[in-house]
């Protein structure tokens, strides 16, 4: 029977590409989303992928959501923590709300999502967890102390959880995308993109969501069984670590 993969933020942008790629690879996919019902229903109609709405910032909601996915599709064997938000601003002007909501949504959500499924993965002797971090969690970014802190925290979380679960057949890895051609990035002013962003990227272009998705499919596969605690950097050569 096909394995079940759960993708948070799985109906738009990079998450949508990941959901579709996992389905094409033979997984039964559950795509979580937080608020955009119209986009989620359109995604479901176009792809046939099951969608599930809950707030990844709430532990109780995540536990209930994982239980619902299990009831509908089966136990979660592949978890992709993709959902995230930004609330940018210079730190000396940042509000407590801007800080807290980004840390809760982008970092605390890893606990909220992993905790309800990790015991089942350990008991079955198989699991794949892939955390979508960011280039800005590696190098930092002006105006994103909250986002950079959360994304750097994801990398520490990945390494620690990988060590704890390796002997149980559960791998935990991270992917750090650079500038990807999502709606948000493509909405930037063209002159800013061409003068300030693209010159930083040795490959001279934005990445495509499908390029991140292919990395996820590999890390979720049996072929990646000897890879855990790793960070895969996918940024066109913009930053090396």
- Helices within the chain (DSSP H only): 13-24, 37-47, 59-72, 96-103, 109-124, 135-139, 145-165, 183-186, 190-192, 209-220
Alpha-carbon distance values, 17 to 12, 129, 215, 228 (Å): 8, 17, 11, 23
User: Is the separation of the CB atoms in 181 and 209 below 8 Å?
Assistant: yes
* Cα 221 off chain centre by: 17
On whether the CB atoms of residues 47 and 19 are closer than 8 A, the answer is: yes
d(CA 191, CA 89): 21
Residue 25 backbone dihedrals phi, psi, to 5 degrees:
-85, 0
Q: Which of 27, 33, 147, 179 is catalytic?
A: 147
> Which 8-state DSSP code applies to residue 223?
G
Catalytic residue flag (residue 147): yes
3-class secondary structure, 34: coil
Question: Annotated catalytic sites, by residue?
Answer: 147
């Amino acid at each position: 029977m096909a394995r079940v993969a759960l993708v948070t933020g799985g109906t738009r942008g990079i998450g949508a590409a990941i959901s579709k790629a996992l389905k094409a690879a033979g997984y039964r996919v559950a795509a979580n989303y937080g608020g955009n019902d119209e986009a989620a229903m359109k995604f479901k109609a176009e792809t046939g992928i099951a969608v599930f709405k809950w707030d990844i910032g709430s532990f109780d909601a995540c536990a209930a959501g994982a239980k619902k996915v299990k009831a509908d599709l089966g136990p979660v064997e592949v978890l992709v923590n993709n959902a995230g938000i930004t609330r940018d601003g210079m730190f000396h002007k940042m509000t407590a709300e801007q800080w807290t909501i980004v840390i809760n949504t982008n970092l605390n959500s890893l606990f909220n999502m992993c905790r309800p499924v990790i015991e089942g993965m350990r008991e079955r002797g198989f699991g794949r967890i892939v955390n979508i971090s960011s280039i800005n969690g590696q190098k930092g970014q002006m105006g994103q102390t909250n986002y950079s802190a959360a994304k750097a925290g994801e990398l520490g979380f990945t390494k620690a959880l990988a060590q704890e679960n390796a002997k149980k057949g559960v791998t935990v890895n991270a992917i750090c995308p650079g500038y990807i051609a999502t709606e948000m990035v493509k909405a930037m002013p063209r002159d800013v993109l061409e003068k300030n962003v693209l010159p930083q990227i040795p490959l001279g272009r934005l990445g495509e969501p499908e390029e991140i998705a292919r990395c996820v499919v590999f890390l979720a596969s049996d072929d990646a069984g000897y890879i855990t605690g790793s960070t895969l950097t996918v940024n066109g050569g913009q930053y090396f670590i």
